[in-house]
Amino acid sequence: MTEKNRRAAALLHHRAEALKRGEPVAPPIVQSSVFHLPGEPEAAYQYGRFGHPNWDAVEAQLAIMEDAPCVAFPSGMAAIASVLYASLKSGDRIIVPSDGYYTTGALAQEFLSPMGVTTILHPTLALEQSSFDGVALVLLETPSNPGLDVCDIAAIAAKVKAAGARLVVDNTMMTAFGQRPLDLGANIVVSAATKAPGGHSDALLGHVASRDDALITRIRDWRRLAGAIPGAMDAWLVHRGLETLDVRLERMCATAGVIAARLQDHSATVSVRYPGLNTDPSYALAKNQMDNFGFIIGLTLKDKTVAEGFLSNCPLIAQTTSFGSVHSSGERRARWGDAVPDGFVRLSIGCEPVDELWAAIDKALQVM
Ligand SMILES: Cc1ncc(COP(=O)(O)O)c(C=O)c1O
């Protein structure tokens, strides 16, 4: 029995203990903004911005996965924003990735800098050598999105701690079933359940996880006061998605390994990044630090025309700007200004049977 399997099983039965005879096994969707509250306001639920049964259900699952208290938010960015706004003050300096999900840096630079917080951008691979003196918070993302560079969380966590700063890991690319930043010394995990945890391209959600009780209380207070709250339906959808995350990831990661190897041998390919390829620069560290190699492949084709042609010719790749769904998807990241070649496609491998998916990819590449 592995620790991950223990968590995966517990997640499926987390409601069992509290269930009374005749109550529904699946959590009901509580589509109510108010709760019956006569007299003194002492009740489990008082008002829909303070607390909600569907948040509690999804947070209970996330807490099992993370082995830490969790706070749910309406998106991954709302979760990241809560950490920045609830933990920083004027005069602080923070480090965020220059090659990670660009919105985090944009949020910090556009909205935190006028409040006196200085944002420093560092490439993922340079973090281990960086100095954290005088820094309040370091946020990293590994593997980086979309370049798939991997950095050593434990080594960086030790340096960040020695400098008296906090380490935040954006674990969206891996989820707690693929990588355990809190066990490696990170203070906080942020993650977008919009991606693999929800997994069906039908809901947005995010969460913050931390074993620092005071910080979790402050994050909860921030959510209540700022009003960045998840909707009942989205929380319910992600609750249902999380029940199959373990089994979906198994399929997605195994298929990604096969597709990455076949793409590496394909004549249309300029280069492939996938941490599970033993020729990949991320391989050694990924093997040590990650529980699987993920489901994202970085495929570089000749140029923009070839990449766009490939995407529009492949019926089993949805052309979307997200990842982690049951539907394989892909996009040219240069269209958003990421520092990648024009022909770079971020492929997110879904749950299609591997041979069908490969046949569709191979056929779409032949046309080029
Ligand atoms: C690594 C990473 N973190 C955070 C987010 C933000 O998630 P959301 O879109 O739910 O706000 C994304 C979205 O693409 C992401 O890729």
pLDDT at 348 (0 to 100): 98
Mutate which of 172, 190, 234, 321 for ligand 1? The one with the most ligand atoms within 8 Å of its CB, which is 172
- The average pLDDT across 291-320 equals 98
Smallest CA separation from ligand 1 atom 14, residue: 322
Element (H, E) at 66: helix 53-66
Q: Name the percent of the chain lying above pLDDT 70.
A: 99
Any ligand 1 atom below 6 A from CB of 206: yes
Whether cis (ω within 30° of 0) applies to the bond prior to 27 is no
Both tokens assigned to 352 = 């299609």
Domains of the chain and any CATH numbers: 3-243 (3.40.640.10), 245-366 (3.90.1150.10)
pTM of the model: 0.97
Any ligand 1 atom below 6 A from CB of 170: yes
User: 34-58 burial, b if ≥16 CB within 10 A, otherwise e?
Assistant: ebeeeeeeeeebeebeebbbbbebb
Q: pLDDT digit string (tens) for 114-149?
A: 999 999 999 999 999 999 999 999 999 999 999 999
Q: How many residues does the chain have?
A: 368
Element (H, E) at 118: strand 118-122
Q: pLDDT digit string (tens) for 325-361?
A: 999 999 999 999 999 999 999 999 999 999 999 999 9
Whether cis (ω within 30° of 0) applies to the bond prior to 41 is no
pLDDT at 368 (0 to 100): 64
In terms of Cα–Cα distance, which of 339, 4, 367, 317 is closest to 149? Answer: 339
CB atoms within 10 A of CB 353: 11
- The average pLDDT across 191-205 equals 98
Q: pLDDT digit string (tens) for 46-94?
A: 999 999 999 999 999 999 999 999 999 999 999 999 999 999 999 999 9
Q: pLDDT digit string (tens) for 243-282?
A: 999 999 999 999 999 999 999 999 999 999 999 999 999 9
pLDDT at 1 (0 to 100): 79
Smallest CA separation from ligand 1 atom 16, residue: 101
CA of 201 to the centre of ligand 1 (A): 13
